[in-house]
């Protein structure tokens, strides 16, 4: 059983030998399982003094004993490193052999305050156990078994470490050497429900304190809540109305107005006041738009300044590059030394790279300016085509200029290569390596320029193709416009003829819906326009088309005319909710059948 496993097995050999015989005492100590060692760990001398009491040696702990783990207990800091004899009133504790390994223990349970004590003497009582272990701290309870072990519960956790310090000690009751009065203590951690419950309560308390500290920290770093909005009154309404007119206090006032409206402060009595405040908020939009236009104007001015400065920088770069190219010609190039020529070529290359980067940046700014068109500035398709055509023409011209400049640069590189070839035959062997490197660099530059030239030529071809497409589209639009004009003229003629034929009928019929030749022309043009739009068109769309022919045409006049001709035109509603729209459709064919 577990209780039996925790008890130390002692040999049941009678110990009736006299203590005056040292050899017999040593034999008895060996039979008890105690090594005959002196106080200093040395073997017993022949002249053993019985007044010294029992020996300090103990048998080694067997690690394979049941109930023992392999974790040695920690030594409390206030306990001495070398164990000594402990004298009590009713018993004496002898320390274990210092050369043996420390006794092993099980894993410590959380919040452990209870220890298991095994190896007690058979004649040991609770009073003796209390006498031994009350030195470690306040003992709350002792549960002693009929067998030689007990459980002791202390008041604090650190007292358990002091009790573990006594593990391995040999206990002797009084001066008796009887087997029932001796034993070897084995102290180990014990798992108790009370200890676990108290530990869990302590952990919950610590968690609550931690949550409280976190909550206080969060509240400390949390931004303060906004000030409460005052309740509506006539005085507060006048104050808010004045704040709405002030740009610096507008945001605070508009928030107050929004809160009042959401609270439901608007009623018949306060409706006029709220309407005036909403009107003030609406007038603030005009100020915001003016502010935006001012900022946009400043941005445009800054862009213009930047563009002018960049163009000036590019002009200076072109001048510097021209100086480098003129210095690279044979007239001046022969007078420079090899190091000077190298520096001039490197400077020229760097200046050309920087110039190309700035040129690309300027071209990008110009492209962005050409692409920026607002919805209000959108013109007729023919005018848009003309602007696109002019933009393409300007881009083609810029590409031509760039192509010419690249060709000139290529010719200059070729001249330099020829000069280098001529100088290569005249130069000495020491200069051959440097000339070869320059030749390689120039060849690489030539290859790059040729590739760039090919790309520019491809772009030039693409631009020419786009220009041709634009021209074709322009011709198509012009032919369509001519066809429309011819159709309008023919329709006007037909309407005139029909009006001339129906003149006597109109004289007889005084209640005719069409009252003049101009209205007949309008009816014909509107019928042609709506015939082209089978899904109908709004009155604004129809009037915008008629005002291209005659700017004096009024929307109300056209709408009155179309409402009089119910068999020719029909008004329908299309859309749902906010997108509801009135459209006019041509129903002349159906009206002809009905009449």
Residue 427 inside a domain? The answer is no
Please tell me the predicted confidence (pLDDT) of residue 5.
Answer: 37
- The answer to whether position 585 is within a domain reads yes
573 has a pLDDT exceeding 90: no
Confidence at residue 497, expressed as pLDDT on a 0 to 100 scale: 64
Of 196-200, 268-272, 425-429, give the range with the top mean pLDDT: 196-200
Q: For residue range 11-48, what is the model confidence (pLDDT) as tens digits?
A: 333 333 333 344 443 443 444 444 444 433 444 434 43
pLDDT of residue 220: 87
How far apart are the C-alpha atoms of 514 and 502, rounded to whole Å? 11
Domains held by the chain: number = 4
Q: Which residues contact 64 (CB under 8 A, 6 or more apart)?
A: none
Residue 104 and residue 449: Cα distance in Å, rounded?
Answer: 86
Task: Supply the pLDDT for residue 12.
Answer: 33
Q: Supply the pLDDT for residue 81.
A: 61
Summarize pLDDT for 483-514 with one digit per residue, the tens: 888 888 878 777 666 665 555 544 444 566 77
CA distance 105 to 61: 12
Residues 6+ away with beta carbon under 8 Å from 496: 517, 520, 521
Q: Which positions ≥6 away from 256 have C-beta within 8 Å?
A: 229, 230, 236, 240
Q: What's the mean pLDDT when you consider all of the chain?
A: 78
Whether this model's pTM surpasses 0.95? no
- Specify if 535 maps to a domain: yes
CA distance 400 to 405: 9
Domain extent for 547: 517-592
Asked whether 41 and 99 are in contact (CB, 8 A), the reply is yes
Residues 103 and 194 occupy one common structural domain:
yes
At how many degrees (to 10) do helices 432-501 and 381-426 cross?
A: 160
Over range 227-250, report the average pLDDT: 88
Lowest mean pLDDT among 53-57, 106-110, 557-561: 53-57
Please give the structure tokens belonging to residue 271: 């409706």
* Chain segment 153-194, per-residue pLDDT in tens: 999 999 999 999 899 899 998 877 788 888 999 999 999 999
Tokens of 444: 């690489």
Q: List pLDDT tens digits, range 577-587.
A: 667 788 888 88
* pLDDT number for residue 38: 41
Q: Are residues 142 and 249 in the same domain?
A: no
569 sits in which H/E element:
strand 569-574
| 312 and 260 both lie in a single domain | no
Instruction: Please state which of the ranges 191-200, 302-311, 502-511 shows the lowest mean pLDDT.
Output: 502-511
User: DSSP letter at 230?
Assistant: P
HEC profile of 160-215 = HHHHHCCCCCEEEECCCCCHHHEEECEEEECCCHHHHHHHHHHHHHHHHHHHHHHH
Same domain (yes/no): 91, 167:
yes
DSSP characters for 408-425? HHHHHHHHHHHHHHHHHH
Domain membership of residue 555 (yes or no) is yes
Of all residues in the chain, the percent with pLDDT exceeding 90 is: 17
Same-domain pairing of 293 and 316:
no
- Do 312 and 273 share a domain, yes or no? no
Map residue 80 onto helix, strand or coil: coil
């Amino acid at each position: 059983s577990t209780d039996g496993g925790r008890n130390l097995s002692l040999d049941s050999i009678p110990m009736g030998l006299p203590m005056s015989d040292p050899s017999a005492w040593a034999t008895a100590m060996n039979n008890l399982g105690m090594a005959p060692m002196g106080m200093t760990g040395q073997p017993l001398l022949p002249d053993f003094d019985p007044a010294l009491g029992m020996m300090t040696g103990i048998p080694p702990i067997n690690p394979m004993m049941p109930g023992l783990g392999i974790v040695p207990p920690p030594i409390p800091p206030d306990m001495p490193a070398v164990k000594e004899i402990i004298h009590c009133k009713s018993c004496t504790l002898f320390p274990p052999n210092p050369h043996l390994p420390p006794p092993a223990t099980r894993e410590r349970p959380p919040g452990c305050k209870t220890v298991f004590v095994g190896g007690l003497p058979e004649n040991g009582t609770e009073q003796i156990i209390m006498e031994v272990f009350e030195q470690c701290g306040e003992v709350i309870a002792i549960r002693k078994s009929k067998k030689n072990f007990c459980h002791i519960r202390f008041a604090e956790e650190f007292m358990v470490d002091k009790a573990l310090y006594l593990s391995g000690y040999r206990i002797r009751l009084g001066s008796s050497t009887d087997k029932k009065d001796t034993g070897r203590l084995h102290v180990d951690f014990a798992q108790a429900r009370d200890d676990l419950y108290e530990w869990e309560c302590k952990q919950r308390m610590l968690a609550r304190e931690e949550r409280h500290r976190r909550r206080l920290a969060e509240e400390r770093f949390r931004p303060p809540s906004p000030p409460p909005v005052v309740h509506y009154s006539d005085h507060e309404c006048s104050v808010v109305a004045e704040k709405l007119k002030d740009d610096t206090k507008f945001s605070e006032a508009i928030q107050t107005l929004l809160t009042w409206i959401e609270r439901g402060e608007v009623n018949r009595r306060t409706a006029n006041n709220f309407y005036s405040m909403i009107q003030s908020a609406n007038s603030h939009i005009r100020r915001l738009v003016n502010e935006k236009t001012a900022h946009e104007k400043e941005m445009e001015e800054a862009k213009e300044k930047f563009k002018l400065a960049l163009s000036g920088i590019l002009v200076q770069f072109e001048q510097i590059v021209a100086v480098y190219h003129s210095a690279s010609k044979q007239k001046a190039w022969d007078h420079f030394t090899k190091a000077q020529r190298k520096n001039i070529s490197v400077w020229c290359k760097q200046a050309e790279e920087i110039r190309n980067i700035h040129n690309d940046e300027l071209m990008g700014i110009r492209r962005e300016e050409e692409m920026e068109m607002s919805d209000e500035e959108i013109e007729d398709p023919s005018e848009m085509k003309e602007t696109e055509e002019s933009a393409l023409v300007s881009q083609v011209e810029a590409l031509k200029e760039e192509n010419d400049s690249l060709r000139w640069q290529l010719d200059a590189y070729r001249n330099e290569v020829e000069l280098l070839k001529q100088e290569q035959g005249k130069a000495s062997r020491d200069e051959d390596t440097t000339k070869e490197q320059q030749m390689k660099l120039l060849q690489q530059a030539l290859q790059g320029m040729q590739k760039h030239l090919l790309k520019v030529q491809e772009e030039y071809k693409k631009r020419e193709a786009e220009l041709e497409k634009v021209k074709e589209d322009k011709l198509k639009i012009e032919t369509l416009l001519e066809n429309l004009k011819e159709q309008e003229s023919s329709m006007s003629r037909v309407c005139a003829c029909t009006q001339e034929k129906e003149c006597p009928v109109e004289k007889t019929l005084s209640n005719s819906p069409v009252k003049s030749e101009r209205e007949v022309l309008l009816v014909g043009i509107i019928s042609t326009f709506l015939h082209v739009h089978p899904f109908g068109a709004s009155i604004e769309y129809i009037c915008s088309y008629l005002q291209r022919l005659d700017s004096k045409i009024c929307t109300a006049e056209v709408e009155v005319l179309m409402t009089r001709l119910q068999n020719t035109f029909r008004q329908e509603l299309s859309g749902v909710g906010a997108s509801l729209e009135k459209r006019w459709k041509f129903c002349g064919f159906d009206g002809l059948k009905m009449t």
